[in-house]
Structure 1
């Protein structure tokens, strides 16, 4: 039968190098220490020690059992601390978001994980309907979506806003709606909604609907749509998060527009579920970082 105490005794024995010191350290008798080691050898069906009188060396199985025991108790401590909902730097975070958010939020979380080794992150990139299904099924504790979700088993609240950017090829010299019609529109999952909102606000006398624009293609991965723009195939509208993380940002440019529209991000969780404080720390830390960056660009909105 598996017994963690046998591993604890064995680890202590290896680290002290003495049955006597192990017994003293663990407040046991020396025969008790020997019995734990024998029980562990019986359980593993391998000799762990090569004894030479009162001294011993580890067998290959003994070295592996020692390494495993260290990992076992380390993982146990991490698990125990993860059960504390008030802990800020330990525990598991299960989050899902669209690529437009995750392209920057996921690297931010990885940076936090580097500073807090007790933090574990499981992050999924998905579409809004998939995120909702996964949160309902308990596969994720928290989802980030780009639209308001109304469901009796879910709570949905505003979290953050990112400016929308009208992105054109780097050599595009136009500024008018007619000139944008001339190069055509590159679509992605939220592309039509984002483009419609931004163009309607900035060209109110000319814009009627996105059906005015020739469709130049579609991709379900927002991070890839700027590749097509960089090749001169058309324009698109994406959140600034996407533009700032794109490997093609030097091959495209953002058109300056007088009116700013935003991609509004919402947090989705199961109704009545208590979200541990570590999530709030990550969410607020990221949002504050984005606000500072936008303030530096002279573009800031009040927190939601």
Structure 2
């Protein structure tokens, strides 16, 4: 492979048309420049310069080499600048979160992307275990979790909490546990976990979500309240998921005597240096959670 330093000396010489000025620009000796040209000619097996008493002219091989070499020399000259460039509002950021907070967060991030259209935001929904794995495997730059990550390669901060809400059809008045058992439960991936947390804190006769018959299941966060709105059962969801439902008049959110909250943790890789664009989006998400 040709030595880039030889190419740089050759292209500079073509610009200056003078060995002495080339040596000065490159902080070399004149003999050093001459050696680079000779080595380049030896490597290519072709004469690059026609020398005479007044200086030199490029040979045909020299002209072709200059046309090919100058873009390479220019690219190498800007290599460090390109490698070290870290623009705060350009490039892809991969975000992964639970569906509940993600429903409203994604809308906010789209607004942020409108302001900084050099950003590419990839936002996906997943359960806690998948979120942790995605951060560890570098598939996600930023994760939101409702449980503390256990993997040592995860760094996390407590950034807020989300209230769990009991949601029934609009026709349901103040619910008793017996009324909920009769109504039945609309399950979802975190359904039994959420139900156990909220119902155990508010109904003394509640022992386990297993005592309540399941009337349906959905793993799509935006669809869990559809069967509830049709009178097919009740469910327990985080507040962001309830706030995002398109038909609030068809459901009823009940205020229970003991509020229950689920924590939110902002999760990143503990082993990877964050690009500026990731840091900017982290700060934006923190500010949004704080304002909410």
Q: Shorter-normalised TM-score: what interval?
A: 0.5 to 0.7
Using the size of structure 2 for normalisation, the TM-score is 0.67
* Structure 1 pair 241–80 and aligned structure 2 pair: CA distance change class (3 A): farther
Matched-pair contact (CA < 8 Å) for 1:154–1:271: yes
How far apart are the structure 2 equivalents of 1:116 and 1:289? Answer: 21
Query: What's 1:144 paired with?
Result: 144
Displacement, 1:208? 1.0
Residues 39-81 of structure 1 show CA distances to partners (whole Å, capped at 9, x for unaligned) of 89xxxxxxxxxxxxxxxxxxxxxxxxxxxxxxxxxxxxxx969
Displacement, 1:229? 0.3
Residues 264-285 of structure 1 show CA distances to partners (whole Å, capped at 9, x for unaligned) of 1222222233334212322122
Matched-pair contact (CA < 8 Å) for 2:165–2:236: yes
Larger of the two Rg values belongs to structure: 2
How far apart are the structure 2 equivalents of 1:212 and 1:81? Answer: 60
Report whether the alignment pairs 1:251 with 2:250.
yes
Residue aligned with 1:221, SS: coil
Matched-pair contact (CA < 8 Å) for 2:142–2:282: no
* Structure 1 pair 162–243 and aligned structure 2 pair: CA distance change class (3 A): same
Displacement, 1:179? 1.0
Query: What's 1:122 paired with?
Result: 122
Aligned residues: 214
Query: What's 2:49 paired with?
Result: none
How far apart are the structure 2 equivalents of 1:187 and 1:225? Answer: 8
* Structure 1 pair 263–233 and aligned structure 2 pair: CA distance change class (3 A): same
Query: What's 1:182 paired with?
Result: 182
Report whether the alignment pairs 1:284 with 2:286.
yes
Query: What's 1:232 paired with?
Result: 231
How far apart are the structure 1 equivalents of 2:150 and 2:82? Answer: 35
Report whether the alignment pairs 1:93 with 2:93.
yes
Displacement, 1:130? 2.2
Displacement, 1:83? 4.4
Displacement, 1:192? 0.9
* Structure 1 pair 82–123 and aligned structure 2 pair: CA distance change class (3 A): farther
Q: CA RMSD in A?
A: 2.6
Residue aligned with 1:222, SS: coil
How far apart are the structure 2 equivalents of 1:259 and 1:126? Answer: 28
Alignment of 1:62-77 (within 5 A): none
Matched-pair contact (CA < 8 Å) for 1:101–1:241: yes
How far apart are the structure 2 equivalents of 1:80 and 1:224? Answer: 46
Matched-pair contact (CA < 8 Å) for 1:135–1:269: yes
How far apart are the structure 1 equivalents of 2:193 and 2:84? Answer: 40
How far apart are the structure 1 equivalents of 2:192 and 2:156? Answer: 23
Displacement, 1:125? 1.6
Which contiguous aligned blocks of 4+ residues in structure 1 show a shift greater than 4 angstroms? 79-83
How far apart are the structure 2 equivalents of 1:82 and 1:119? Answer: 18
Query: What's 2:267 paired with?
Result: 268
How far apart are the structure 1 equivalents of 2:118 and 2:251? Answer: 40
